[in-house]
């Protein structure tokens, strides 16, 4: 299977709608050769990750949780703090939640390239624009 490269600028795009479209392309559901048990998806490059838009009061109210597996090790970060420190993780976690939880999930996520700012090092792959 030949993998295509797609490019999307996240500036001004709504997080959920963007993540749905990226998950479809990573899974390969946009291709007529899609089969659920094989990785037939394409690569996706996302730029301007820090400028993705959220609606309502999610900027202050949305929380991301992780646990260190030690007693009392629950960590909590708001969307506002995540945008300040690691804005690329906002899109990565949204897309991860929209992919099926199976053995192909990590392989599909490796084909997602997210960058802060408008520059990316994948010009040689000649990415096509992804319509969101």
Is residue 69 within 8 Å of residue 29, measured between CB atoms? no
List phi, psi (to 5°) of 121. -90, 20
Is residue 111 within 8 Å of residue 24, measured between CB atoms? no
d(CA 36, CA 59): 34
Sequential pLDDT tens for the chain (132 residues): 789 999 999 999 999 999 999 999 999 999 999 999 999 999 999 999 999 999 999 999 999 999 999 999 999 999 999 999 999 999 999 999 999 999 999 999 999 999 999 999 999 999 999 999
Alpha helix locations (H) across 1-132?
A: 15-27, 58-61, 79-85, 87-98, 105-109
How far lies 92's CA from each of 71, 72, 78, in Å? Answer: 27, 26, 15
d(CA 1, CA 107): 15
Given this model, what pLDDT does residue 98 score?
A: 98
Given this model, what pLDDT does residue 1 score?
A: 78
SS3 111: coil
pTM, full prediction: 0.94
d(CA 19, CA 32): 21
What confidence tens digit (pLDDT) does each residue in 8-42 have? 999 999 999 999 999 999 999 999 999 999 999 99
Selecting from 3.90.1180.10, 3.30.910.20, 3.30.450.20, 3.20.20.120, what CATH number does the domain 5-53+87-129 have? 3.90.1180.10
Listed by start position, the domains of the chain span 5-53+87-129
């Amino acid at each position: 299977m030949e993998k295509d490269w797609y490019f999307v600028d996240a500036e001004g795009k709504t997080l959920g709608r963007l993540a749905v479209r990226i998950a479809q392309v990573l899974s390969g559901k946009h291709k007529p050769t899609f089969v659920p048990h094989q990785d037939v998806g394409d690569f996706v490059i996302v730029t301007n990750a820090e400028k993705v838009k959220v609606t309502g009061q999610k900027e202050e109210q949305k929380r991301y949780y992780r646990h260190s597996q030690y007693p009392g090790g629950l960590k909590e970060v708001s969307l506002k703090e995540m945008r300040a420190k690691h804005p690329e993780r906002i899109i990565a976690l949204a897309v991860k939640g929209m992919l099926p939880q199976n053995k192909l999930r990590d392989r599909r996520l490796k084909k997602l390239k997210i960058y802060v700012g408008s520059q990316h090092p994948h010009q040689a792959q000649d990415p096509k624009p992804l319509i969101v």
